[in-house]
Amino acid sequence: MAWKPDDIEKVFTEICRRISEEGYSIRKCLLDPEFPGSETFYKWLEDDPEKAKRYARACEEREILMLEDIIHIADDTTRDEKIVMMGDAAIVTIDKEHIQRSKVRIDARKYYLAVTNPKKYGNKVDVTSDGESIANMTPEQKDKMLATLLKKAQDLDGTE
């Protein structure tokens, strides 16, 4: 299908809106038969740096939306309890299934954010400095740390 410039702009704007306001993935957007295929969409980005910037901004806004979702899911306790009938008595119990599902929903969003933007949302692992900034260490402290690491490596290797 040949896309007219006005149609491209209208469709592109709607795609960005769905991403930034509804949290859609690009894959989900492009399933709409009114939208282009992925090859065409990425060609639009490649050919127009302004569109690439708008798409990147929409993705950043989706990240913010997901962070807000995480807070909302965590704070929503409306279905954490359920009423179970035992004969004529109504007993309030904890709905463990709902709580677990909420945890899965939060974890899925955290995982997505960590994978798509690891510098901002990924786990930061410090394996060398026990949390102390290496930049602030004296040369003697750095030498001591290096010696400790070498000793640990030799112990693991079985060499001396």
Domain ranges, ordered by start, for the chain? 5-121, 127-155
Query: In this structure, are residues 30 and 41 in contact, taking their beta carbons and an 8 Å threshold?
Result: yes
Superfamily covering domain 5-121: Homeodomain-like (1.10.10.60)
Nearest to 57 by CA among 10, 5, 21: 21
Q: What is the pLDDT of residues 123-137, one digit of tens each?
A: 876 665 566 677 778
Q: What is the pLDDT of residues 34-71, one digit of tens each?
A: 999 999 999 999 999 999 999 999 999 999 999 999 99
Task: Provide, rounded to the nearest whole percent, the portion of the chain with pLDDT above 70.
Answer: 92
- Note the pTM of the prediction, 2 decimals: 0.71
Distance CA 131, CA 140 (A): 17
**pLDDT score recorded for residue 149:** 81
Beta strands in the chain, from DSSP E residues, in sequence order: 81-86, 89-94
